[in-house]
């Protein structure tokens, strides 16, 4: 059994599509509802490092706390940005997926296909109807 974890927000369409793509590979991942169970500081730092992105790149910008806290201002240190994300988990962009092949922020959702160890098992369309995988499990480009 493949060990896959998704930091998931069920209210987010991209997160739901990503979870569905994981399941379409025949795997039931560990699902962490990160708004209810946010990662600890060290775990968040490890995820950011594993994704190879900056702390700022993980910030979700189109949510209320971002503007309220003035986080667009470049003077905030990485530690201050982490503090904000830990205080307001909605600021953590999602979904984050961890597999044996890597860790990615899966925006758009089909980014997850690059790190899934197992092939897709059938056709898949996103919630908006966009076809991503054909009936033979092949990625459509």
Are 64 and 86 found together in one domain?
yes
Q: Which pLDDT belongs to residue 2?
A: 63
Predicted local distance difference test score (pLDDT) of residue 70:
96
Give tens-digit pLDDT for 18-49.
999 999 999 999 999 999 999 999 999 999 99
Same domain, 111 and 73: no
Does residue 54 sit in the same domain as residue 87?
Answer: yes
CATH code of 6's domain? 3.40.30.10
Residues of the chain with pLDDT under 50: none
Q: Count up the domains in the chain and report the number.
A: 2
The residue segments making up the domain with residue 46 are 41-92
Contacts of 98-106 spanning 24+ positions with Cβ under 8 A: 98/4, 98/5, 98/6, 98/47, 98/50, 99/2, 99/3, 99/4, 100/2, 100/3, 102/50, 103/47, 103/50, 103/51, 104/51, 105/51, 105/53, 105/57, 105/58, 106/14, 106/18
Which residue out of 4, 6, 12, 106 is catalytically annotated?
Answer: 12
**pLDDT for res 1:** 53
Residues 98 and 85 in one domain: no
In this predicted structure, what is the pLDDT of residue 30? 97
- Is 106 marked active-site? no
């Amino acid at each position: 059994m493949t060990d896959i974890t998704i930091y998931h927000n069920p209210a987010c369409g991209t997160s739901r599509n990503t979870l569905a793509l994981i399941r379409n590979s025949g795997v039931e991942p560990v699902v962490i509802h990160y708004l209810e169970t946010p990662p600890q500081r060290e775990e968040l730092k490890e995820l950011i490092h594993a994704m190879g992105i900056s702390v700022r790149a993980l910030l979700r910008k189109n949510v209320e706390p971002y503007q309220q806290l003035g986080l667009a201002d470049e003077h905030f240190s990485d530690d201050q940005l982490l503090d904000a994300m830990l205080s307001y988990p909605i600021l953590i962009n999602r979904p984050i997926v961890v597999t044996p092949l890597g860790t990615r922020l899966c925006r758009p959702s089909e980014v997850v296909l690059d790190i899934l160890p197992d092939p897709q098992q059938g056709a898949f369309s996103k919630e908006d109807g966009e076809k991503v995988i054909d009936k033979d499990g092949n990625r459509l480009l």
